[in-house]
Structure 1
Amino acid sequence: MSTINIVAISGNLVDDAVLRSTKSGTMVLNFTVAITERVKGTDGAFEERPSYIDCAIFGKRADALARYLAKGSLAMVQGHLRQLTYNDRQGQRRSKVEVMVDEIEWRQPRSA
């Protein structure tokens, strides 16, 4: 059975993007996008509920985009989901899902 794995999100970067290199020398740019959902609270008033989505860009694009993706930037991201499993520092098995970025558009945060 074939599945479709496409995701599109829009939100603000929580922090500056972090550029690193894998053991094999591939550049990886990691950043987190905050998205909000409007939900009705128990009192009937609407409130915003944030979610934080981890994203990654690999290769030459990672290196080229690193200086532009700063905290507060509005990012519109398209890509696909990938689940990672790893052991944390205490040896516990952990898992997370992140967006592997195929396309990105951004706007710099407004200066004060």
Structure 2
Amino acid sequence: MSTINSVAISGNLVDNAVLRSTKNGTMVLNFTVAVTERVKGADGAFAERPSYIDCAVFGRRADALSRYLTKGTLAMVQGHLRQLTYTDRQGQRRSKVEVMVEEIDWRTRRQGDAATAA
């Protein structure tokens, strides 16, 4: 049986994207997208509950996108999920799931400009 690993999210960047280089020189752009869902409370009123989704772009696109992905940017992201396991500064083993970006569309609030990167 084959598996499906596909994700599509839309939300605003919570901070400016961070560009870095791996040990072997590959460029990586990391950013977090806030997505919300409407949740009905015990009193019957609806409220929005945010989730913060980490995303990563690799290679030449990472460098090109770093200029455009700033705090507040609306991003529509498609990709697949990847689980990372690492050791934090206190020596504790941690893991997290992030979206490996394959396609991204974005729109800045200030300029109203729209752009696409495949």
1:57-108 deviations in whole A, cap 9, x for unaligned? 0000000000000000000000000000000011000000000000000001
RMSD of the alignment, in Å? 0.8
Distance 1:90 1:60 in 2: 33
Per-residue deviation, 1:110: 2.5
Distance 1:60 1:97 in 2: 23
Q: Which runs of 5+ in 1 are unaligned?
A: none
Partner residue of 1:75? 75
- Whether contact under 8 Å (1:53, 1:98) holds in the other structure is yes
Q: 1:95 corresponds to which letter in structure 2?
A: S
Partner residue of 1:101? 101
Distance 1:55 1:72 in 2: 15
Distance 2:41 2:78 in 1: 30
Distance 1:85 1:96 in 2: 7
TM-score if structure 2 supplies the norm length?
Answer: 0.92
Which runs of structure 2 are paired with 1:1-112 in the superposition (5 Å)? 1-110=1-110
Runs of 4+ with >6 A deviation? none
TM-score if structure 1 supplies the norm length?
Answer: 0.97
